[in-house]
A = this chain, B = another copy of it.
Amino acid sequence: MLSLETMQRHVDALFPGFMGVRLVELAPERVLGELLVRPELCTAGEIMHGGPYMAFADTLGAIGTVINMPKGKRTTTTDSSTKFIGGAKVNTTVTGESVALHRGRTTMVWQTFIRTAEGKLCAVVTQTQLILD
């Protein structure tokens, strides 16, 4: 399995790095990350825009899939569904916990809970990852 540091360097060069996603823990059934709600990630009202929630979750679920899939395979998200539940204020940090609901050979399903530092649920994202040759 890739180390946390290697994976962090990998995402730093991509859109998650642009947003500021920090990986906290990688395990085959769970991936944890955190994201500072910088002003640039906000919408009106100084709360995080819906986009970063979905992008953060997409990142964690894809990493979870990469960790689990055989060498030489690729993955792509085919579907992502989000319920928005609560807001996250500017300059706070949200956590993302992505858990595997299904780890098959052809598809994996990951679900990510995004929460405030106090543990209040902000969004739930469920995504399907297709495994490709």
Contacts and interface: CB of A to CB of B under 8 A. Distances in A.
A41 B13 CA distance: 10
Contacts of A101: 83, 85, 121, 124
Interface residues of A, number: 45
A73 to B, nearest CB: 13
Contact of A80 (B10, B15, B50, B109): B50
A132 interface: yes
Nearest to A87: B76
Contact of A15 (B52, B83, B130): B52
B109 A83 contact: yes
A43 interface: yes
